[in-house]
Structure 1
Amino acid sequence: MTMSDEARARVETLRAEIRHHNYRYYVLDDPEVPDAEYDRLISELRDLEGAHPDLVTPDSPTQRVGAEPRSDLLEVRHRVPMISLDNAMSDEKLAEFHRRLQTALPEASLVYAAEPKLDGLAVNIRYESGVLVQAATRGDGTRGEDVSLNVRTIQTVPLRLMGDDWPEILEVRGEIYMSRSGFARLNAEIEARGDRPFANPRNAAAGSLRQLDPRVTAKRPLKFCCYGWGELSESPGESHYAWLKRLEGWGIPLSKELRRVEGLEGCRGYFDALAQRRDDLDYEIDGVVFKLDRLAAQQQLGATVHHPRWAVARKFPAQEELTEVLDVEFQVGRTGAITPVARLRPVQVSGVTVSNATLHNMDEILRKGVRIGDQVFVRRAGDVIPEVVRVVVERRPAETRPVELPSQCPVCGSDVIRPDGEAVARCTGGLYCPAQRKEAIKHFASRRAMDIDGLGDKLVEQLVDLDWVHEPADLYQLTAERLARLERMGEKSAANLVAALERSKQTTFARFIYSLGIREVGEATAQALAGRFDGIKALMAVRETDFLQKRGVKGIGQETAEKLLTYLQAHPDVAPQGGMSDWLASLKIPGLTRPRAEALAEAFPDAETLRTAKLDDLYSNSARLVEGVGPIVAAHIVGFFAQTHNRDAIERLLAAGIRWSTPSSAPAAAAEQPLAGKTFVITGTLSRPRDEIKERLQRQGAKVTGSISKKTDYLLAGADAGSKLAKAQSLGVEIIDELALEDLLTQG
């Protein structure tokens, strides 16, 4: 055996020993050797790898630290969505959850996997062939941030799985958290340096995991605890609990409190026992998670778009404290949402000083009856976000003042609107409002809007922070010479960006409308608006009546109208005795009250006119003149263009040279478009970008949606089509491939 072969053999032996000791220490909490012996093994391995660099592998225990800092965190799309859990805030809600499952499942007794709900940051960790290849945060459930380099530094996360019977692809999901003792040590070190400490362990864990420098993360006392899984290349078997135990056997750490419990009483007993020990645990928890143990039953119950139907989080009651509302201010969010925030007399809640608390919206203020000067109970919702729970009315001082929604944005002065049916009020100065500036420009430059290649989020933030760009039109005043002075830009990149800005000036009317960022005006609605209005001048002059045709009699519902028509058809010879309103009221039609009878009589002065009316003429309704634009969207559009700031910003964009084809030069009128009225859904892996295919379909009048329904005409299915293909087959939707699509487009 050569020296190199001996070194390779010793390296493999050392790695196997270290992985074994890591498993005993971090997973089983039962170390076999003292720390000094463990350190000796690590030191020997590091020396051997230093002498033989060719033997270093990414999954070696020595490779947890050392990556260079990054400029940002890349986006990762989850192969299996990471949806949230439904919450049970009381014992009654837990019992209600259990009863729903009993009704849906014919099992004599339901068994649950129970474990603490850790207060940390959810992550998805992917292993291929037993080796860690990627880790990502939960994000919005569909897309998260790549934190692979940071997660690799966490000692409780194995870089290589133990054993050899693991699936080829295994995604484990769990919580990155910080123990209370680790948090105390970290804050002591921070304060010793004279820096500001973290507010709580969750904030510390989240901030540490999202560090751009993994070497900083490596110094933080982070831990990982697995509670589930994502994509698997083999079946997990029959039991949720049993599969988690298999994961533990491969070196994945689980909660030491994981148990199987039976029925509602088992859940209650587990919850009460853990609540008693909550303060003694070395980590923060805010409740208990119960998951149906039988995996076939989980599959049968399925999930909503928000949460699985087979799991629930029974939350602990949040700690509450009494304080005073000193004032209420209104903050403007990045999307224009106007949020009332209570300024409170500072109070300690769950160990954190709380001086501000969200009031959510005006509906919540009215529901809770909050006034400035009130005594209120405050809690940290989910033990994190401060909120006002309720008012102590009996302690209300005489000099309290009501909370009033501002009519103008506190940041830019634009009108604040609150459409009917919406709880949230919003600033209408989207292109102008400084609070919305960064998001408005990011949206304007995005691929589906003006498609300005090279103008990413970080660069937009830099340009706004430097005060170079205040609104989208300012982008077109940037020069290559000025841009080249930016950090990490360079002359070539600057010239490329200026060229991309110039290219973006030639666009389509639909893209331009979408780029304006009008609330709830997506691509499909922008396309419909572009087909309905003859240019931007006409669109800027819109009124709500341009979108909605109101019919019927105010106050009359559809059910009442149907019953009235049924009565009239069944009694063709009955004539009113006396006045119309008296006669209608005497018919005793459900819902047809005296005021509504009077409103009907005013619209239909005699019985014959009423008998010839159609259903739509009777009940209060509105017909949409533009697809996708109902009352709420219409209010957003009209409110946006009513603002002088927005109209001026659009004029400056047109003056900068933005242009598009006029309706007269468009390829075809809507009625002549060959795919007009057809609805397509696209799924699977295709040979061309989906956006390109979508745009071609829309140019020929088709509507492209994201979900399958009975109204879908075609499903374009590529490789690995998945659940949409199965649903299309079950609904009888025509399924086509790219060749068939090309035939459809060519025929057009």
Structure 2
Amino acid sequence: MEKKNLKFYIIKLLDILYKIYKLFYFKNKIINLRREILNYNYKYHVLNNSNILDYQYDKLIFKLKKLENLYPYLKNKYSSTKLVGARYKSLTFLKKIYHKIPMLSLNNVFNEQDLFKKFLFPINKIIKKLNFCCELKFDGIAINLLYKNGILISAATRGDGIIGENIIKNILKIKSIPHTLKGKNFPKNLEVRGEIFITKKNFKKLNQQRFDKYKLFSNTRNTAYGILKMNKNVDKKIFNLLNFYSYGIGFIDQIKFSNQQEILLKLEYFGIPISKYTRIYSSYYKIINFYKYFKKNRNLLPYNIDGIVIKINDVKKQNILGYTNHAPKWAMAYKFPSQEKLTLLKKIIFQIGRTGVITPIAYFNTVNINGVNINFATLYNINEIIRLNLKIGDHIIIQRCGDVIPKITNVVINKKFLKRKTNILIPTLCPSCNSILKKTTNNILYCKSGLFCKDQLKAYLKHFVSRDAFNIYYLGEKLINKLVDKNLVKNTVDLLNLNNHILSKIDNLGNKFINKILQSLKNKKTITFNKFLFSLGIPEMGTISCYYISLFFKTLENFLNTNLIELCSIKNIGKKTSLSIFNFISKKDNINIIKNLLKKIKIIYPIKISKKNYFYQKKITITGKFMFITRYNLVKKLKILGAVIHTQISKKTDLLILGTNPSSKLLKANKLNIKIINENKVFSLFQKYK
């Protein structure tokens, strides 16, 4: 009996332990997913430079929603499933402005099955016999125009859905946006929602004329965004290239509407431009046909669209369904699949990276997708060649969506394309140093020669001089390649020992430029410990890992004398990184290079930070622009003094450093009674702790 009881309690204990493990595992998974999505939001909404496909982003959101629903106690009001845009600092001169009604985003689907499953079927369970308003989804910048008594008084970008950036000065220069409304009986306040875009013809005209000093734009969306945020005295003609169409309203008083179609007609009556392609359908099949028609004929339109928007036409029924924090439940964006082009595969080149990993690069006949000429794509590893069954001479489909790196999706099998095909020879020797290549269990090829391999050396030296490492000016990729090819530089010490005699051996390198290089090398006498660690190019070690490791070991001597057990005990450092570090410091060649580097430079250690300094271990957030220091150098100095830099304001924030044109962080800091200091105060403190 006792044995049975013991067995029962052991099973129960194991069950509890498993549940605890499961909780921590999924908690970490949710946190990591939120970080990843926030990073993509930042790139899209702030930098305007997305590097993920729409459907991939939606998969991440869906995955996060699923996990949050499974573990509701891990839900967070700041989660990406609750936010619209990116709550980050503004990168421009623009001031902030509040929308009277939140400017929400739209949920997306990419196929008929999801459209029915995620939108039409759930709605039909609640409300029967619906009419839908189908509109084009313009590939531009969403804006909010506020008219007071018929006069345009402000204009803002979407921002985070609550606060946008005030772009009224540039909006007033766009011809298609009326400064005053037409007709009679205007509402006292009217928020007009719409899209700023540039036509294909005007986009081509802009790039041909170049407007003297303006850069060559890559696509229409980025062009519209770039023009809207111009802060200089530019030729007003450039704003005439922009167009505007309204797709709805935000806040309105005095007037009530019964449906979406009526709203659009009233906007047109007021003189606001609307699209002529809006249609009302009650049939699911007609909606699909509307989508298929514009999917097939979108290239005939004068502007770019990336899908259609389907809205419930009846406003009362819209209100019944309501909203989530992110998007209305009564509307859905049905997006087109990514643009694809057919082309011919010419060759595969195997490229060697800094860590020795071999990456196949496919070169093909140039194709133009969304205004960008593309003639190569990364294949990641040889598994991709095997999966696609690629051969030289194949006709391949190139896909590019969201202005990101192109991808080969598949090979076209056709009797017309069967001639002149050649098998791709997977290398057994390194293309650079001819050493025998090794293969991991995952079929990843890599060269074990390290810095004796010229291509690895070139990639490593580029890493060594980068901003997050030694930050040496004027030593660019082309110059490094020439120095390595001529055997003038064989390691990082050789690079720091460059002199006039060595540099004069490089063709087309003038005396003035040589002097700039030498001066830059001369100025590089000190480096912070975390940057020194990053400069070593240890696999798996990024800037954040190096920062935590520098704080843990405090000196290089401690770092070099560590062991695997100690490395694994460091917070935020995984087993893979620990093993990579241990392997690196176990090699004599690496230790010799470090010793020689120490003869040229001095390391600034965290241990030298005075714990009495004002910034030590304070959680600091920064907002606005600064007159006498760049954001990068400000963060660098604060970290040297032991500060912990946060991108967001929270209750745990100790200090906000305030520059000119601050973001909404200032309002939040005031609400939370967080201490605020300006640039002058920061500089006086820097002088004190110099």
What is the TM-score when the length of structure 1 is the normalising length?
0.48
Q: Is the 8 A contact 2:176 2:243 kept in 1?
A: yes
The residue matched to 2:467 in structure 1 has which SS? Answer: helix
Q: Is the 8 A contact 2:141 2:224 kept in 1?
A: no
Shift of 1:162: 5.0
Q: Could you say which residue in structure 2 is the equivalent of 1:30? A: none
Given the alignment, which residue of 587, 592, 602 partners 1:658?
Answer: 602
Q: Is the 8 A contact 2:567 2:578 kept in 1?
A: yes
* Deviation string, structure 1 residues 549-593 (Cα, Å, up to 9, x no partner): xxxxxxxxxxxxxxxxxxxxxxxxxxxxxxxxxxxxxxxxxxxxx
Which letter does structure 2 place at the counterpart of 1:91?
A: E
Q: Could you say which residue in structure 2 is the equivalent of 1:92? A: 113
The residue matched to 2:410 in structure 1 has which SS? Answer: strand
Given the alignment, which residue of 540, 549, 572 partners 1:628?
Answer: 572
Given the alignment, which residue of 691, 702, 714 partners 2:652?
Answer: 714
Q: Is the 8 A contact 1:533 1:539 kept in 2?
A: yes
- The answer on 1:737 being equivalent to 2:674 is yes
1:380 to 1:694, Cα distance in 2 relative to 1, 3 A: closer
Which letter does structure 2 place at the counterpart of 1:255?
A: S
Q: Is the 8 A contact 2:357 2:446 kept in 1?
A: yes
Shift of 1:655: 3.6
1:511 to 1:284, Cα distance in 2 relative to 1, 3 A: closer
Shift of 1:530: 1.4
The residue matched to 1:529 in structure 2 has which SS? Answer: helix
- The answer on 1:510 being equivalent to 2:530 is yes
The residue matched to 1:329 in structure 2 has which SS? Answer: strand
1:721 to 1:368, Cα distance in 2 relative to 1, 3 A: same
Which letter does structure 1 place at the counterpart of 2:652?
A: Y
Shift of 1:329: 1.9
Q: Could you say which residue in structure 1 is the equivalent of 2:467? A: 443
1:699 to 1:376, Cα distance in 2 relative to 1, 3 A: same
Q: Is the 8 A contact 2:460 2:537 kept in 1?
A: no
* Deviation string, structure 1 residues 671-727 (Cα, Å, up to 9, x no partner): x99999x99685888999999799879967x9665579xxx983558699979999x
Which letter does structure 1 place at the counterpart of 2:112?
A: D
Q: Could you say which residue in structure 2 is the equivalent of 1:566? A: none
- The answer on 1:526 being equivalent to 2:464 is no
- The answer on 1:224 being equivalent to 2:161 is no
1:32-47 alignment to 2 at 5 Å? none
- The answer on 1:401 being equivalent to 2:423 is yes
* Deviation string, structure 1 residues 197-234 (Cα, Å, up to 9, x no partner): x9998599689969999878947983334578999999
- The answer on 1:373 being equivalent to 2:392 is yes
1:653-692 alignment to 2 at 5 Å? 654-661=598-605, 663=607, 667=610
Which letter does structure 1 place at the counterpart of 2:545?
A: T
Gaps of 5+ in 1: 1-73, 191-197, 549-624, 730-734, 741-748
The residue matched to 1:378 in structure 2 has which SS? Answer: strand
2:557 and 2:250 map into 1 onto residues whose CA distance is 51
1:381 and 1:233 map into 2 onto residues whose CA distance is 40
1:233 and 1:460 map into 2 onto residues whose CA distance is 58
1:214 to 1:630, Cα distance in 2 relative to 1, 3 A: same
Q: Is the 8 A contact 1:177 1:205 kept in 2?
A: yes
1:105-504 alignment to 2 at 5 Å? 114-118=134-138, 122=141, 130=152, 155-156=174-175, 158=177, 160=179, 174-180=195-201, 202=220, 218=237, 222-226=241-245, 253-258=273-278, 265=285, 267-275=287-295, 277-278=297-298, 280-290=300-310, 294=318, 299-302=323-326, 311-316=332-337, 318=339, 321=342, 324-330=344-350, 340-344=360-364, 346=365, 356-362=375-381, 365=384, 368-373=387-392, 375-382=394-401, 387-391=407-411, 400-402=422-424, 404=426, 434=458, 441=465, 443-444=467-468
1:155 to 1:332, Cα distance in 2 relative to 1, 3 A: farther
1:360 and 1:309 map into 2 onto residues whose CA distance is 40
1:54-65 alignment to 2 at 5 Å? none
1:225 to 1:291, Cα distance in 2 relative to 1, 3 A: farther
1:580-591 alignment to 2 at 5 Å? none
1:183 and 1:685 map into 2 onto residues whose CA distance is 32
1:657 to 1:383, Cα distance in 2 relative to 1, 3 A: closer
Shift of 1:116: 2.8
1:692 to 1:118, Cα distance in 2 relative to 1, 3 A: closer
1:680 to 1:354, Cα distance in 2 relative to 1, 3 A: closer
1:98 to 1:205, Cα distance in 2 relative to 1, 3 A: same
Shift of 1:365: 1.0
1:275 to 1:509, Cα distance in 2 relative to 1, 3 A: closer
Q: How many residues align?
A: 536
Which letter does structure 2 place at the counterpart of 1:659?
A: I
**Percent of paired sites with the same residue:** 16
What is the TM-score when the length of structure 2 is the normalising length?
0.51
Q: Is the 8 A contact 2:198 2:242 kept in 1?
A: yes
RMSD: 7.5
Which letter does structure 2 place at the counterpart of 1:177?
A: I
Q: Is the 8 A contact 1:226 1:252 kept in 2?
A: yes
Q: Is the 8 A contact 2:131 2:282 kept in 1?
A: yes
Q: Could you say which residue in structure 1 is the equivalent of 2:66? A: none
Q: Could you say which residue in structure 2 is the equivalent of 1:552? A: none
Q: Is the 8 A contact 1:288 1:313 kept in 2?
A: yes
The residue matched to 1:257 in structure 2 has which SS? Answer: coil
The residue matched to 2:324 in structure 1 has which SS? Answer: helix
1:423 to 1:476, Cα distance in 2 relative to 1, 3 A: same
Shift of 1:96: 3.6
Which letter does structure 2 place at the counterpart of 1:628?
A: N
Shift of 1:660: 1.6
Shift of 1:315: 0.5
Q: Is the 8 A contact 1:697 1:704 kept in 2?
A: yes
Which letter does structure 1 place at the counterpart of 2:326?
A: G
1:276 and 1:388 map into 2 onto residues whose CA distance is 22
Shift of 1:328: 1.4
1:524-563 alignment to 2 at 5 Å? 524-533=544-553, 535-536=555-556, 539=559, 547-548=567-568
2:646 and 2:353 map into 1 onto residues whose CA distance is 29
Q: Is the 8 A contact 1:506 1:658 kept in 2?
A: yes
Q: Is the 8 A contact 1:681 1:714 kept in 2?
A: no
1:145 and 1:648 map into 2 onto residues whose CA distance is 53
1:101 to 1:477, Cα distance in 2 relative to 1, 3 A: farther
Gaps of 5+ in 2: 1-90, 211-215, 501-509, 678-690
1:153 and 1:413 map into 2 onto residues whose CA distance is 63
Shift of 1:368: 3.1
Which letter does structure 1 place at the counterpart of 2:308?
A: V
Choose 1 or 2 for highest CA Rg: 1
Which letter does structure 2 place at the counterpart of 1:95?
A: F
1:689-708 alignment to 2 at 5 Å? none
1:82 and 1:633 map into 2 onto residues whose CA distance is 43
1:443 to 1:282, Cα distance in 2 relative to 1, 3 A: same
Higher relative contact order (CA 8 A, sep 6+): 2
